[in-house]
Structure 1
Amino acid sequence: MKTVFQKPQAMTDAQLHYCPGCTHGIIHRLVAEAIDALDIREQTIGIASVGCSVFAYDYFNCDMQQAAHGRAPAVATGIKRVLPESIVFTYQGDGDLASIGMAEIVHAAARGENITVIFINNAIYGMTSGQMAPTTLPGQVTATSPRGRSVNETGYPIRICELLVALEGAAYLARVSSHNPRHILQAGRAIKKAFEVQQQKQGFALVEVLSTCSVNWGMAPVKAMQWLEENMIPYYPLGVFKDVTAKEGEQHG
């Protein structure tokens, strides 16, 4: 029988631990497919962060290193500088990257570290029971904002791509989504591009992927996908915010 669909070689056979409706598994596959397509698995080193994706080292079939909370870009920097011919990526959630790890990601981008960052934005702290995150939307209900996020009390959500785009060291910045097949295909292309930018030694590359957290959002998986489309995308517009490899007129944001 002809095989028409199979697990990427860059993923292990381990069963994913993610909640029903979570799109981490989809995004893991997109990362693995990019690694396979570029034939870089034997030279790839991934950095697992702290959060829902803390067990990423069990799921990617490449060398992996665990980092302390928020420190994945610093760990990736050290590995890349010691092993410059390796392909190094971090896989981080919004609590890890945009909260405790904000300084790390800003300075890695400012230095133009030649690494690839996969940033998962589900607008909430998923692993630790659904607290408000730096990316939580105005009015969004969480465990620590039961009446909805108040911008007067806690400020506005942080748009990471828009924040990093001003830094000269950032070579590729894109925001994509994982809520339907068309957007998943677009996300896969962006992730592959981010690895290609590193291969070309162009500098820092980050892909922000809008994701769902149906359990902590208190929604069925299908409803969560709809909520992402109707609420997150208007606040976090999709597109390529910076691409130093693009020809004039190709870049958009």
Structure 2
Amino acid sequence: MAEVTRLIHEYLRHDKKFPHVWCPGCGIGIMLGALIRAIDRTGFSKDEIVMISGIGCTGRLPVYVDFNTLHTTHGRALTFATGVKLAKPSLKVIVIMGDGDAVAIGGNHFIHAARRNIDLTAIILNNSVYGMTGGQFSPTTPYGMKTTTTMYSNVEQAFKISELAITAGAVFVARGTVYHAKELDGLFERAFLKRGFSVVEVISHCHTQYGRLNRMGTAVEMMEWQRDHAVTVEKAAQMNEEELRDKFKIGVLADRELPVFEDEYGKIRAMSRGIPAK
């Protein structure tokens, strides 16, 4: 309990920003807890961290943390983050986005940030819907599910965020859930310490807008669904296609080394000044 109290008082703006705006039972609070535990373990000081978000339920998270923070426009969090990182490469830049913010209006920025391999950590909370603006379908709404704008059925296939990140060039990609909170700590920690564009997709739940319309039960029951359908990468390797049909993988999906954008950009700047490349 003493450790929890220390983290709350050290990392949260508890004296002026609470109570928060999230619905009771929302998974974003669990993600926030995992986030500050991971940051505490990595040893970054609060002044070394810049946390940037766009718009939406998840986009509200930087309001509650005592770091350097930017609350930016919808879909443009990675654009602002790129500018911050190039202007001050010594800062640890963490970008918090929802699935709609990251891969709908922000989709083009997402794939090109991955392609460039900019040294940022993108945390994307995937709750399959636009929660804050009324429950509209998002790029990650599963086929056949209902939302306020697909009242009969969603007829589009869902984006696979982590697989998209890998294909686009991210050097570290992981997927976790808010049910597996302690494992999520570790994924965040590894992402923060990895140089290059790292992505952690967090499977969460919106029981208010998405779960209620699809009769998925309470927040607890939706977390139990995560427990029952998540399979670790290691276990999945031992399973056949039929066994994996209604499951999704959690853990580290990709971890590789590629040239980091800031390093390569620095070489170009040096050459433009007549300094020989090293």
**Band of TM-score, shorter chain:** 0.7 to 0.9
TM-score w.r.t. the length of structure 1 is 0.86
**1:187 equivalent in structure 2:** 184
Aligned pairs, how many? 232
Give 5+ residue unaligned stretches, structure 2.
232-245, 258-278
Deviates further, 217-226 or 138-147: 217-226
Once the two structures are TM-superposed, the CA of residue 160 in structure 1 deviates from its matched residue by 1.2
Distance in structure 1 (CA, Å) of the matches to 2:226 and 2:132: 19
* Letter in structure 2 aligned against 1:88: V
**2:164 equivalent in structure 1:** 163
* Letter in structure 2 aligned against 1:225: M
**1:250 equivalent in structure 2:** none
Q: Which has the larger radius of gyration?
A: 2
* Letter in structure 2 aligned against 1:194: A
Q: Does 1:210 align with 2:203?
A: yes
Q: Does 1:196 align with 2:193?
A: yes
Give 5+ residue unaligned stretches, structure 1.
246-253
Distance in structure 2 (CA, Å) of the matches to 1:114 and 1:223: 37
Distance in structure 2 (CA, Å) of the matches to 1:243 and 1:97: 21
Once the two structures are TM-superposed, the CA of residue 230 in structure 1 deviates from its matched residue by 5.0
* Letter in structure 2 aligned against 1:121: N
**2:65 equivalent in structure 1:** 60
**2:4 equivalent in structure 1:** 5
**Aligned match of 1:106 in 95, 103, 111?**
111
**Aligned match of 2:221 in 220, 223, 242?**
223
Deviates further, 221-230 or 28-37: 221-230
Secondary structure of the corresponding residue to residue 203 of structure 1? coil
Q: Does 1:237 align with 2:237?
A: no
Secondary structure of the corresponding residue to residue 54 of structure 1? helix
Distance in structure 1 (CA, Å) of the matches to 2:5 and 2:146: 39
Q: Is the 1:71–1:101 Cα contact (8 Å) retained in structure 2?
A: yes
* Letter in structure 1 aligned against 2:177: S
**Residues 145 and 232 of structure 1, relative CA distance in 2, 3 Å threshold:** farther
**2:40 equivalent in structure 1:** 36
Distance in structure 1 (CA, Å) of the matches to 2:62 and 2:254: 29
**Aligned match of 1:146 in 133, 138, 151?**
151
Secondary structure of the corresponding residue to residue 146 of structure 2? coil
**1:84 equivalent in structure 2:** 89
TM-score w.r.t. the length of structure 2 is 0.78
| CA displacement, residues 52-80 of structure 1 (integer Å, 9 cap, x when unaligned) | 13332321110001211011111111000
Once the two structures are TM-superposed, the CA of residue 6 in structure 1 deviates from its matched residue by 2.1
Secondary structure of the corresponding residue to residue 120 of structure 1? strand
Once the two structures are TM-superposed, the CA of residue 84 in structure 1 deviates from its matched residue by 0.2
Secondary structure of the corresponding residue to residue 252 of structure 2? strand
Distance in structure 2 (CA, Å) of the matches to 1:84 and 1:130: 37
Once the two structures are TM-superposed, the CA of residue 42 in structure 1 deviates from its matched residue by 1.8
Once the two structures are TM-superposed, the CA of residue 229 in structure 1 deviates from its matched residue by 4.3
Q: CA RMSD in A?
A: 1.8
| CA displacement, residues 148-195 of structure 1 (integer Å, 9 cap, x when unaligned) | 212xxxx31000111121234x1100011112xxx1111110011110
* Letter in structure 2 aligned against 1:166: T
**2:178 equivalent in structure 1:** 178
Identity of aligned residues (%): 31
* Letter in structure 1 aligned against 2:160: R
Distance in structure 2 (CA, Å) of the matches to 1:77 and 1:42: 18
Distance in structure 1 (CA, Å) of the matches to 2:66 and 2:37: 11
Distance in structure 1 (CA, Å) of the matches to 2:134 and 2:6: 31
Runs of 4+ in 1 over 4 A off after TM superposition: 229-233
